[in-house]
């Protein structure tokens, strides 16, 4: 049976094994998928051992995505730009690195939520690894304008420079956001993790704004609660992105696109 796994530290709360087993079940594929806790200094060894023992593919999560990028002997263009890899496959003796986070986010926004990116004014909050990982696929959808706002403005500026050849992108601090509402706001900061809100002016949100928090949980995130209170047309969380990035990894490994809608529902009911 083909073997797959997700490596991270911590890993016990990872939903990836559940998601991939559901994909396998619903698409009639026979495979195994495990969660593997890897020591902070043991990632390279663990990946080598996994592939040498016949493993076919790996998902990689915190804190190993940058190391996975370094280990990959081949990288897709979007992985190259992301500086991080969340999907590895072993093909013809090469470790192939891909980043499916951005595709997952874009697919969730466009297909599951029927929101638009093309020609829209978009705000992304945060400038860490999570945001860097999704910028290329978002810019590829050709928003009219992409504003990157971050507490540490220099980090947003560095990212905007890195991606400047890929679309219209500019950086700023929260206090410089102007009064016009954005069509779509995406929270890619880790503020929600600690129950905090990035200090966005409420004027960023208008009656037509969609708000997407890349975080998710059993309860609505603080960002989405705040956005709904400001009158956002729609709030979305990152559970769909999680399932869609997994579906893209599944496609890379199995050349088969699993149905995601029922899996999103099942996973949400189990949160």
Closer of 38 and 200 to ligand ATR (Cβ): 200
- Burial profile 62-73: b = 16 or more Cβ within 10 angstroms, e = fewer: eebbebbbebbe
Report the alpha-carbon distance of residue 167 to residue 181 in Å, rounded.
21
Question: From the CB of 151, what's the least distance to ligand ATR, in Å?
Answer: 3
Packed helices 239-254 and 261-270: angle between N→C axes, nearest 10 degrees: 130
Q: Is 185 in the site for ligand ATR (CB under 6 A)?
A: no
In the DSSP assignment, the letter for residue 202 is G
Instruction: With residue 9 as reference, give the H or E element that holds it.
Output: none
CB 254 within 8 A of CB 24: no
Question: From the CB of 132, what's the least distance to ligand ATR, in Å?
Answer: 8
Select which of 56, 65, 74, 120 is catalytic.
65
Question: From the CB of 171, what's the least distance to ligand ATR, in Å?
Answer: 11
Residue 118 a catalytic site member? no
Report the alpha-carbon distance of residue 259 to residue 19 in Å, rounded.
11
Q: Is 173 in the site for ligand ATR (CB under 6 A)?
A: no
> Which of 12-20, 26-34, 120-128, 242-250 is the region at the interface with ligand ATR (rule: CB under 6 A)?
120-128
Closer of 155 and 162 to ligand ATR (Cβ): 155
Q: Is the N-terminal amide bond of 90 cis, ω within 30° of 0? A: no
Strands (DSSP E) found in 106-166: 121-125, 145-149
Q: Is 124 in the site for ligand ATR (CB under 6 A)?
A: no
Which whole-number Å values give the CA distances from 230 to 125, 129, 185, 210, in the listed order?
Answer: 17, 28, 12, 11
> In 10 A of CB 118, how many CB atoms?
9
CB 107 within 8 A of CB 261: no
Q: Is 187 in the site for ligand ATR (CB under 6 A)?
A: no
39-78 positions binding ligand ATR, by CB under 6 A = none
Of 14, 89, 100, 189, the one binding ligand ATR (CB under 6 A) is 189
194-213 positions binding ligand ATR, by CB under 6 A = 196, 198
Closer of 89 and 189 to ligand ATR (Cβ): 189
128-167 positions binding ligand ATR, by CB under 6 A = 128-131, 150-152, 155
Q: Is 191 in the site for ligand ATR (CB under 6 A)?
A: yes
Instruction: Tell me the residue nearest to ligand ATR as measured from the CB.
Output: 128
Residues in touch with ligand ATR (CB under 6 A)? 126-131, 150-152, 155, 189-191, 196, 198
């Amino acid at each position: 049976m083909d073997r797959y796994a997700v490596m991270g530290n911590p890993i016990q709360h990872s939903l990836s094994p559940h998601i991939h087993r559901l994909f396998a079940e619903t698409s009639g594929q026979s495979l195994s998928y495990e969660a593997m806790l890897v020591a902070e200094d043991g990632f390279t060894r663990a990946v080598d051992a996994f592939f040498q023992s016949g493993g076919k593919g790996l998902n990689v999560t915190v804190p190993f995505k940058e190391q996975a990028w370094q280990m990959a002997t081949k990288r897709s263009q979007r992985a190259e730009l992301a500086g991080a890899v969340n999907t590895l496959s072993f093909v013809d003796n090469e470790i192939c690195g891909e980043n499916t986070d951005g595709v997952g986010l874009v697919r969730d926004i466009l297909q599951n939520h029927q929101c638009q990116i093309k020609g829209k004014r978009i705000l992304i909050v945060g400038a860490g690894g999570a945001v860097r990982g999704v910028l290329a696929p978002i810019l590829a959808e050709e928003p009219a304008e992409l504003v990157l706002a971050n507490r540490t403005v220099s980090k947003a500026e560095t990212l905007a420079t890195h991606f400047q050849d890929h679309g219209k992108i500019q950086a700023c601090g929260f206090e410089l956001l102007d009064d016009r509402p954005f069509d779509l706001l995406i929270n890619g900061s880790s503020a929600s993790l600690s129950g905090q809100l990035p200090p966005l002016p409420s004027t960023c949100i208008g009656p037509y704004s969609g708000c997407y928090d890349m975080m998710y949980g059993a309860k609505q995130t603080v960002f989405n609660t705040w956005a709904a209170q400001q009158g956002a047309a729609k709030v979305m969380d990152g559970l769909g992105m999680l399932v869609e990035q997994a579906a893209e990894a599944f496609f890379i490994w199995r050349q088969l696109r699993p149905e995601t809608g029922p899996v999103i529902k099942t996973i949400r009911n189990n949160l």
